[in-house]
Chain A
Amino acid sequence: MPDTATPIDKRPLVLLTPAFIAITALVVIPMSFILVYSFYENVDLAVDRVAFQFGNWQALFSDNYYHSAIWKTLRISVVVTVLAAVLGYLPAYFIAMTTFRHKWLLLLLLILPFWVSFIIRTLSWIHILGNQGALNGLFLWLGLTDEPLQMMFSEFSVMVGLIHVFLPYMILNIYVSLEGIDRNLEPAARTLGATPWQAFREVTLPLSLPGLAAGSLLVFVLTGGSYVTPLILGGPSDFLFGNLIYDAVVTELNWPMGATLSFTLLVLLGSVVILYSRFMGLNQLSKAFG
């Protein structure tokens, strides 16, 4: 390939410049202000003292309260990501492969929920899963149960809410990678004697992996950073690390601690992205040779 032969190519740099400037100015620099804050000392509500001390970091490392929140957050994020992948792959495949003429409509339908405010959408799960909700109404009517099932305000309802909000990210990412696959590949594999399942497994699935990985990454990271869904749909024990940050920054007005917690989350989620990036980098490399 001609452009990879020359070792120093300025074109990618030029293409990346706008994004780099934007992220540097709007994320990196503001975050360095926050990092500075994590060494400050909170004297009273909203009153911070300029300092360079490790009290906040020490609290983070020594306090089991924070550790259990981190575990819980990772666990819920993994479960939500896996479930979203399981739920999302087939619909994405369907949209990509269907001969239905109004394919765009299926895609539009995916994005539509965003048009109803997130808070309203989340609250409306109470109408479905609640004691007087649609599902319980159906179960009672069918005689499956005598008493309404308690589904709301549990880890279950929090996960339902999270999956519901993030599933479109998964489906769209898988879809765009499936859509990019040459349509003739699967039939070609079939004519070479592969069963449909083999053709899918050997051809389509590997080619759709970048989308699946991107979608999973997004869902994982977004779940790890959310805090509103557990507030609305969860019971007292359902919270994520984001809730601790929100509590520290907004309700306790303790910015130094909030900054410390934020950095922790940043590092945790960042390492996941780096892992992904390593893995995907290899994947793309092998494809370039293939």
Chain B
Amino acid sequence: MSAWAFIRFYTILVYTFMFAPIAVVLLLAFNNSQFGGFPIDGLSLRWFAELFENEAIMRAFRTSFILGLMTAAVATTVGILAALALVRYQFRGKDWVTTFLISPVLVPETVLAVGLLIFLRWLHMPRSFTLLLLGHSIIALPFVVLVVQARLVGIRREYEEAARSLGASPVQTFFSVTFPLLLPAIFAGALFAFTISFDNITATIFWRPSGMETVPTQIFGMLRHSVSPEINALGFVMICITVGVPLLAGGLARYFSRRKV
């Protein structure tokens, strides 16, 4: 049991490391001072007020959110199909196929961005939201493939074969056996794709149509003049939403189910 205690302690340490900069951001969201970080001179909510009045950031937030959701849908669908092929079938040249699927990660984003722009010019297509969506999807695709693939390797074939031998059709097998087993991987892949899209800056700068800002490009624009703590407030709000909403939903569900009994 002491080994487990050590693992738990170690995990807590690593999570502390992961969250140290985030904690700083969250704390500074309440710092009254315009600039400067620690020590905090006073607490205030003024950055939250300014955040909600700042239309540009709110608009950028909406754009990023929609873009992230769509990227997750596209990249996860394509990625799962490819990962299935890689894990479930033996065929020649698999090494090369794997390399090919991972190749978008290998290309420095600046170069990928410029290359795609030249290609678009050749096709006489203007920059558009679609370009951003396709570009983000291709950046996220290798991650989805890797995450899903690692998970698929662990799923035992026997479950599916059992279902098949019990008379299920391949489609039925997929939806009643494979799909539920895949769900954690799908979820992880989609979440990954979403967050990668949400946080992408390098390529987005080149691909976005004029007048469209995502959260990172909006922040990038603010860098010339010092970053406003509104950004910390935005981070705070986002984290509250992503952690708080599921927690609240779960808590309420439990509360009401208990009332019924």
Q: Please tell me if the beta carbons of A15 and B85 are within 8 angstroms of each other in the complex.
A: yes
- How far apart sit A280 and B99, CA to CA, in the bound complex (Å)? 12
- CB of B69 within 8 A of chain A? no
Please judge, given known A-B contacts A15-B82, A169-B143, whether A123 and B110 are in contact too, CB under 8 Å. Answer: no
Residues 1-25 of chain B, each 1 if its beta carbon lies under 8 Å from chain A, else 0 = 0010001101100110111111011
Within 246-278 of A, Cβ neighbours of B (below 8 Å) are at 246, 249-250, 255, 258-259, 262, 265-266, 269-270, 273-274, 277-278
Q: Please tell me if the beta carbons of A115 and B106 are within 8 angstroms of each other in the complex.
A: no
B22: A residues at CB distance < 8 A: 112-113, 116, 121, 124
| A164 CB, min distance to chain B CBs, angstroms | 7
Q: Please tell me if the beta carbons of A115 and B242 are within 8 angstroms of each other in the complex.
A: yes
- CB of B255 within 8 A of chain A? no
- How far apart sit A181 and B156, CA to CA, in the bound complex (Å)? 9
Please judge, given known A-B contacts A23-B138, A127-B38, whether A113 and B18 are in contact too, CB under 8 Å. Answer: yes
Q: Please tell me if the beta carbons of B37 and A127 are within 8 angstroms of each other in the complex.
A: yes
Please judge, given known A-B contacts A115-B235, A127-B37, whether A108 and B84 are in contact too, CB under 8 Å. Answer: no
Q: Please tell me if the beta carbons of A259 and B111 are within 8 angstroms of each other in the complex.
A: yes
Within 78-120 of B, Cβ neighbours of A (below 8 Å) are at 78-79, 81-82, 84-86, 88-91, 94-112, 114-116, 118-119
- CB of B198 within 8 A of chain A? yes
Please judge, given known A-B contacts A27-B103, A117-B235, whether A22 and B141 are in contact too, CB under 8 Å. Answer: yes
- How far apart sit A120 and B8, CA to CA, in the bound complex (Å)? 29
A94: B residues at CB distance < 8 A: 7-8, 10-11
Main secondary structure of the interface of B (DSSP, over half): helix
Interface size class of A (residues with CB under 8 A): 35 or more
Nearest opposing residue in chain B for A35, CB measure:
B115
Which residue of A11, A119, A222, A277 is within 8 Å of B105 (Cβ)? A222
Residues 143-166 of chain B, each 1 if its beta carbon lies under 8 Å from chain A, else 0 = 101111111111111000000000
- How far apart sit A256 and B58, CA to CA, in the bound complex (Å)? 39
Within 36-77 of B, Cβ neighbours of A (below 8 Å) are at 37-38, 77
Q: Please tell me if the beta carbons of A218 and B219 are within 8 angstroms of each other in the complex.
A: no
A90: B residues at CB distance < 8 A: 7, 10-11, 14
Please judge, given known A-B contacts A117-B216, A214-B146, whether A284 and B138 are in contact too, CB under 8 Å. Answer: no
Q: Please tell me if the beta carbons of A173 and B38 are within 8 angstroms of each other in the complex.
A: no
Q: Please tell me if the beta carbons of B153 and A120 are within 8 angstroms of each other in the complex.
A: no
- CB of A142 within 8 A of chain B? no
Within 191-209 of A, Cβ neighbours of B (below 8 Å) are at 196-197, 207
A274: B residues at CB distance < 8 A: 95, 99
Name the residue among B100, B106, B115, B142 with the largest chain A CB count within 10 angstroms: B106
- How far apart sit A28 and B18, CA to CA, in the bound complex (Å)? 35
Which residue of B95, B145, B239 is within 8 Å of A277 (Cβ)? B95
Nearest opposing residue in chain B for A222, CB measure:
B105
Please judge, given known A-B contacts A118-B199, A277-B98, whether A19 and B104 are in contact too, CB under 8 Å. Answer: no
Q: Please tell me if the beta carbons of B150 and A211 are within 8 angstroms of each other in the complex.
A: yes
Which residue of B94, B147, B227 is within 8 Å of A281 (Cβ)? B94
Name the residue among A118, A207, A250 with the largest chain B CB count within 10 angstroms: A118
Which residue of B24, B86, B94, B98 is within 8 Å of A124 (Cβ)? B24
Q: Please tell me if the beta carbons of B192 and A111 are within 8 angstroms of each other in the complex.
A: yes
A137: B residues at CB distance < 8 A: 38
B106: A residues at CB distance < 8 A: 221, 225, 265-266, 269-270, 273
Q: Please tell me if the beta carbons of B143 and A15 are within 8 angstroms of each other in the complex.
A: no
- How far apart sit A90 and B199, CA to CA, in the bound complex (Å)? 27
Q: Please tell me if the beta carbons of B143 and A26 are within 8 angstroms of each other in the complex.
A: no
Please judge, given known A-B contacts A180-B153, A274-B95, whether A172 and B188 are in contact too, CB under 8 Å. Answer: yes
| B130 CB, min distance to chain A CBs, angstroms | 11
- How far apart sit A172 and B185, CA to CA, in the bound complex (Å)? 10
A113: B residues at CB distance < 8 A: 18-19, 21-22
Within 227-254 of B, Cβ neighbours of A (below 8 Å) are at 227, 231-232, 235, 238-239, 242-243, 246-247
| A172 CB, min distance to chain B CBs, angstroms | 6
Q: In the complex, given contacts A94-B7, A173-B150, A288-B90, what are 10 additional A-B residue pairs having Cβ atoms less than 8 angstroms apart?
A: A1-B157, A3-B89, A19-B141, A26-B104, A112-B242, A124-B25, A249-B111, A266-B106, A273-B99, A273-B102
Q: Which 8 A-B pairs have the closest CB atoms?
A: A180-B154, A30-B115, A15-B85, A116-B235, A114-B195, A12-B85, A12-B89, A19-B82
Task: Using CB atoms and an 8 Å cutoff, list the residues of chain A in contact with chain B.
Answer: 1, 3-4, 9, 11-13, 15-16, 18-20, 22-23, 26-31, 33-34, 87-88, 90-91, 93-95, 104-105, 107-128, 132-134, 137, 164, 167-169, 172-173, 176-177, 179-182, 196-197, 207, 210-211, 214, 217-218, 221-222, 225, 227-228, 242, 245-246, 249-250, 255, 258-259, 262, 265-266, 269-270, 273-274, 277-278, 280-281, 284, 287-288
